[in-house]
Amino acid sequence: MMLRVLEPELMEDDAQVQAYAAADFSQENQGFVDLFREYFPEFSEGHVLDLGCGPGDIPIRLACAVPGCRITAIDASSPMIRLAEDRVRQAGLSDRITFRCERFQDLAGANMADAAMSNSLLHHVPNPLQFWHKLRVAVKPGSPVLVMDLLRPESPEEAQAIVDRYASGAPDILRRDFYNSLLAAFTEDEISAQLAQMNLTRLIIDVPDDRHWVVGGIIH
C-alpha cells in the first residue's frame, strides 16, 4: 500500500487559491449539500460549523437549502477567507454566514454548534485525530455531522489515472493539487481506525465512488 505523503496544511499561495476558487466544483459542492439534506432531513434550523470552508461555496449552498440555519465557516488561510467573504457578501448572506480565519485546532469553546460539516479538509491535516476530537467537542450532543474527503489510491500511477480521468482539461495547478491531495488522503481502513480510536463508531463510513469517502451520523 502507498504511504501517505503530506501536502501543506493551508492553501495560502495566491495562484493556488485563485485556481481553486475559479474551478467549477458546483456539481460536487451541491452534491455534498444534497447529501447533508438526505442524511439529516429533519435539520431545519440552528448553528452549523463548516471546518476548512475554502472559498465558501458550500456554506452559501447550505444557507440557500436550509433557510433556518446560520453558519460559522472556518479556514486558516487569509486569502481563502477574503475570497469567501466577498462571495457571501455578493450572495447577500453576510447576516447568516460569518467567517473565522483560524486553524480549527485552535477553536476555543465547546458545544457551540447544532451541526457540523467539512469537505476536503482532512487530507490537509497532519494529525487527523485532532480533527475528530475538535468535531466532537465543538458540537452539542445529538448534532448531525457530515464529513467527506478523498480516498488515497493504491499507487502513484492510480492517483495519476484518477487525475487524468476527472481533471483532464483542468489547469496544471489544479491537476497538481488534485494529485498531491490524493497522495495525502486517507484510506477507508484508516478512517475507520480513527473513528474507533476516538470512540466515534456510531458515525458511518461510506465509499460512494472511486475517489471519496463520507462519514455521517449523529454525535453523541
Ligand X SMILES: C[S@@+](CC[C@H](N)C(=O)[O-])C[C@H]1O[C@@H](n2cnc3c(N)ncnc32)[C@H](O)[C@@H]1O
Cβ contact 70:41 at 8 Å: no
State yes or no: residue 212 binds ligand X (CB under 6 A). Answer: no
Cβ contact 62:35 at 8 Å: no
State yes or no: residue 2 binds ligand X (CB under 6 A). Answer: no
Q: What is the DSSP string of 26-40?
A: HHHHHHHHHHHHHH-
Among the residue ranges 101-109, 155-163, 187-195, 212-220, the one whose residues contact ligand X (CB under 6 A)? 101-109
d(CA 198, CA 213): 18
State yes or no: residue 103 binds ligand X (CB under 6 A). Answer: yes
Q: Report the site for ligand X in 108-127 (rule: CB under 6 A).
A: 119-121, 124-125
> Between residues 12 and 220, which has the closer beta carbon with respect to ligand X?
12
> Between residues 57 and 114, which has the closer beta carbon with respect to ligand X?
57
Phi-psi region of 46 (alpha: psi -120 to 50; beta: other; left: phi over 0): left
State which of residues 19, 52, 151, 212 lies at the interface with ligand X (CB under 6 A).
Answer: 52
State yes or no: residue 75 binds ligand X (CB under 6 A). Answer: yes
Q: At which residue does the C-alpha cell 465557516 appear?
A: 73
State yes or no: residue 203 binds ligand X (CB under 6 A). Answer: no
Q: What is the DSSP string of 68-94?
A: EEEEEEE-S-HHHHHHHHHHHHHTT-T
Among the residue ranges 74-82, 87-95, 153-161, 192-200, the one whose residues contact ligand X (CB under 6 A)? 74-82
State yes or no: residue 58 binds ligand X (CB under 6 A). Answer: yes
Q: Smallest distance from the beta carbon of 50 to ligand X, in angstroms?
A: 7
Give the type of residue at 147: V
Residue 95 grid coordinates = 447576516
State which of residues 35, 48, 49, 53 lies at the interface with ligand X (CB under 6 A).
Answer: 53
Number of H helices, E strands in the chain: 8, 7
Length of the chain: 220
> Between residues 18 and 105, which has the closer beta carbon with respect to ligand X?
105
State yes or no: residue 16 binds ligand X (CB under 6 A). Answer: no
- Neighbouring CB atoms inside 10 A of 180's CB total 17
3-class SS of residue 64: helix
State yes or no: residue 152 binds ligand X (CB under 6 A). Answer: no
| Residue with nearest beta carbon to ligand X | 54
Q: Give residues in contact with ligand X (CB under 6 A).
A: 9-11, 25, 52-54, 57-58, 74-77, 80, 103-105, 119-121, 124-125
